[in-house]
């Protein structure tokens, strides 16, 4: 007999909170799923994403709609047809991977056909703010090898220059969260090239990114909001050089592994990204991180509190999740 439990939780974000082009938050709100069978418990976490019409309530209701099937033994493979891609399926899929690992005595990496997991280097994210405050944040994080810079549109050229001046040795990636437009695009792009930015994530709105197909550039452009599970990512090849795979969008590790293979077949670079969650949310994504070109799984580093046991970080080096946490 298998049982399902759903728990909503809040974790305080460190410092003044976390800000992107769509707003600022002081807490990470997450939903945790546990599945218990034969004395073993698997767990998974998701973060509902308002950009795609999700809320804590709507995601919880989606999971509850599958409760009978899950408690009746629904498998990971059948789950893909039972729930749509999104945060709800991610939490359940992650819990099923963890449960399968614990019941079988194998690691999730073994179940996925992967070699033993190795440490990776993750980006560390700087919230969008004034150029002056971002300069200070960059100086404090200048020892980190990879910084992700959140942007918001107008004035981003000054923000990029300020970060680069104060973190001269760090590799930079930037994320505009769809905030650029035809009026500031060239100026912001020029600033990225001058700063030696390695990757620009979703500079234009997903429904107005055709400009990217017409331009020459020296910076890798990565699709995030333009990437949709269930749609062939080949349609993005004329506009983007890389794709950002997020488990809360793909609907879990099971689909993310398929997306990873499809991206490689199309010769995309791959970024593994995350929402603002705890170590439990990062754990299944760590499997994708093993072969990703860019790793952005710093959610726990941005929190004032995390789960126990947490994933271990030494600076920006991220270690495999402990079995007691996941997998």
Q: Is residue 19 over pLDDT 60?
A: no
**How high does pLDDT run on average in the chain?**
95
Rounded CA-CA distance 306/12 in Å is 9
pLDDT band at residue 14 using 50, 70 and 90 as cut-offs: confident
pLDDT at 51 over 90: no
pLDDT, position 278? 98
3-state helix, strand, coil in the chain (%, to 5): 35, 25, 40
- Amino acid 216: pLDDT: 81
Rounded Cα distance between 209 and 223, Å, is: 10
Omega cis (within 30) before 41:
no
Residues tagged active-site? 150, 246
What topology is assigned to 2-105 in CATH?
Answer: Enolase-like; domain 1 (3.30.390)
Q: Would you give the distance in Å from CA 322 to the centre of its chain?
A: 20
- Indicate the SS3 state at residue 141: coil
* The CATH classification of domain 120-318, taken from the options 1.10.260.40, 3.40.50.2300, 3.20.20.120, 2.40.50.140: 3.20.20.120
pTM for the full predicted model:
0.95
Q: What is the pLDDT of residue 82?
A: 95
Q: What pLDDT score was predicted for residue 16? A: 73
Tens digit of pLDDT for each residue in 226-276?
999 888 999 999 999 999 999 999 999 999 999 999 999 999 999 999 999
> What are the structural domain ranges in the chain?
2-105, 120-318
Residues 240, 223: contact at Cβ < 8 Å?
A: yes
């Amino acid at each position: 007999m298998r049982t399902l439990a759903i728990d909503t939780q809040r974790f305080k974000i460190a410092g003044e909170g976390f800000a992107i082009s769509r707003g600022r938050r002081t807490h990470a709100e997450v939903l945790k799923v546990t599945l218990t069978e034969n004395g073993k418990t698997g767990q998974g976490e998701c973060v509902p994403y308002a950009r795609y019409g999700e809320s804590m309530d709507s995601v919880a209701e989606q999971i509850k709609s599958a409760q009978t099937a899950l408690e009746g033994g629904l498998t990971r493979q059948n789950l893909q047809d039972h729930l749509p891609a999104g945060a709800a399926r991610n939490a359940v899929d992650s819990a099923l991977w963890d449960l399968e690992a614990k019941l079988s005595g194998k690691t999730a990496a073994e179940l996925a056909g992967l070699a033993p997991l190795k440490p990776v280097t993750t980006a560390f994210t700087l919230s969008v703010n004034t150029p002056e405050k971002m300069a200070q944040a960059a100086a404090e994080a200048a020892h980190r090898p990879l910084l992700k810079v959140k942007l918001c549109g107008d004035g981003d050229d000054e923000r990029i220059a300020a970060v680069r001046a104060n973190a001269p040795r760090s590799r930079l990636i930037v994320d505009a969260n769809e905030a650029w437009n035809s009026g500031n695009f060239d100026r912001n792009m020029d600033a990225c090239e001058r700063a030696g930015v390695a990757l620009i994530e979703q500079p234009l709105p997903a429904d107005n990114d055709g400009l990217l197909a017409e331009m020459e550039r020296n910076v890798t452009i990565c699709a995030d909001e333009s990437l949709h599970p269930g749609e062939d990512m080949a349609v993005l090849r004329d506009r983007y050089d890389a794709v950002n795979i997020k488990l809360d969008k793909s609907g879990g590790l099971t689909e993310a592994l398929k997306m990873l293979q499809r991206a490689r077949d199309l010769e995309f670079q791959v970024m593994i990204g995350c929402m603002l969650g705890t170590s439990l949310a990062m754990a299944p994504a760590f499997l994708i991180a093993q072969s990703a070109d860019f790793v952005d799984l710093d959610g726990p580093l941005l929190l004032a509190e995390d789960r126990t046991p947490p994933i271990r970080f030494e600076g920006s080096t991220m270690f495999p999740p402990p079995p007691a946490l996941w997998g």
